[in-house]
Amino acid sequence: MTVTQAHSPGTFCWAELATSDSQAGKLFYTGLFGWTFEDRPIGENEFYTMFESGGKQVGALYQLAPQQVAEGVPPNWLSYLAVDSADRSAARARELGAEVIAEPFDVFEYGRMGVIKDPTGAVFGLWEAKSHTGFGVVGEPNSHCWNELCTRDPAGAVGFYTGLVGWGSRQEPMADFVYTYFTQGEQNRGGMMEIAAEWGPMPPHWMVYFAVDDCDAKAALAETLGGKVLMPPADIPRVGRFAQLQDPQGAAFSIVQLLPNAA
């Protein structure tokens, strides 16, 4: 099992689901991935739910506030980048043309966070860890394994993330598009695809991927649990088999059955 106790700056370290129905969300994801959960009070009748797999933290869930719903915030998975300083990273993001949606603030004793909309329109979180470092396991079935940016401005995205966290980039031609890997040294930190015209008015976004041991079976199970299959299982050369899903409340995420040499 790939267990981790720390995430270096520039790596995705956490993912959290904002949902319109926390109880239904817990039922769906525990049923799909076999996760367990713990509800942690964060206010009057408010809870932050920690998901675990094999006793290791793999993500979280919270209920969208009425104000967020009124503002049109849809259910969504938010991915967090580990940084040395949330304040410095937020300031740098603003210098690079991003919008700081939530100025950095302390999350109890766990860490300090901010929320950024990059210049191409995709939203992500910043996480300066204190007692909570993030995922306790990655790359194993039923845990986080990848993040992928869909954007209409790939060149602008490369410039932004290079300036923010020092990523490099590497392009790899596919059958009918070019896939970009964000790199840090010899490690891949995430991927990027340009939003095609035929995809319609899709907003730029960071997609979270969870590893699974059987992509087809998980996609079928998601439908049984009330979710939708947005993109049916398909093979990715040299990577594995993936599918894009949507939970019953509307949050999208992807699953991938990794080939042994891609894990």
Name the percent of the chain lying above pLDDT 90: 84
Residue 2 maps to a domain: no
> Residue 139: which residues within 8 A CB-CB, separation 6 or more?
2, 145, 211, 258, 263
Which pLDDT tens digit goes with each residue over 171-192? 988 778 889 999 999 899 999 9
Residue 6 maps to a domain: no
Whether the predicted pLDDT of 263 surpasses 60: no
Whether the predicted pLDDT of 2 surpasses 90: no
Burial of 205 (0-12, 13-18, 19+ CB in 10 A): buried
- Which residue, 129, 154, 186, sits at the end of a domain? 129
R_g over Cα of the chain: 17
- Which residue, 80, 104, 129, sits at the end of a domain? 129
- Here the tokens at position 258 are 């990794």
> Residue 82: which residues within 8 A CB-CB, separation 6 or more?
7, 8, 9, 10, 11, 12, 13, 127, 128, 129, 134
Count CB neighbours of 137 within 10 A. Answer: 20
Whether the predicted pLDDT of 146 surpasses 70: yes
Which pLDDT tens digit goes with each residue over 208-250? 999 999 999 999 999 999 999 999 999 988 889 999 999 999 9
Supply the pTM of this predicted model. 0.94
* pLDDT the model gives residue 1: 46
* pLDDT the model gives residue 4: 57
- Return the H-helix or E-strand segment holding 24: helix 22-33
- Residue 105 sits in the same domain as residue 154: no
* CATH code assigned at 102: 3.10.180.10
Q: Which of 65-74, 78-87, 94-103, 145-154 is least confident? A: 65-74
User: Which residue, chain included where needed, has tokens 């299982």?
Assistant: 233
Mean pLDDT value of segment 139-145: 96
Residue 29 maps to a domain: yes
Mean pLDDT value of segment 19-26: 97
CA distance to 101, 168, 203, 209, 224, per residue, from 122 (Å):
11, 19, 8, 16, 30
Residue 202 maps to a domain: yes
pLDDT level of residue 262 (50, 70, 90 thresholds): low
* pLDDT the model gives residue 200: 87
Q: What is the DSSP letter of 196?
A: P
Q: How far is it, in rounded angstroms, from Cα 81 to Cα 186?
A: 18
- Residue 150 sits in the same domain as residue 101: no
* Number of domains the chain is built from: 2
- Residue 100 sits in the same domain as residue 160: no
What residue numbers bound the domain in which 171 lies?
A: 144-262
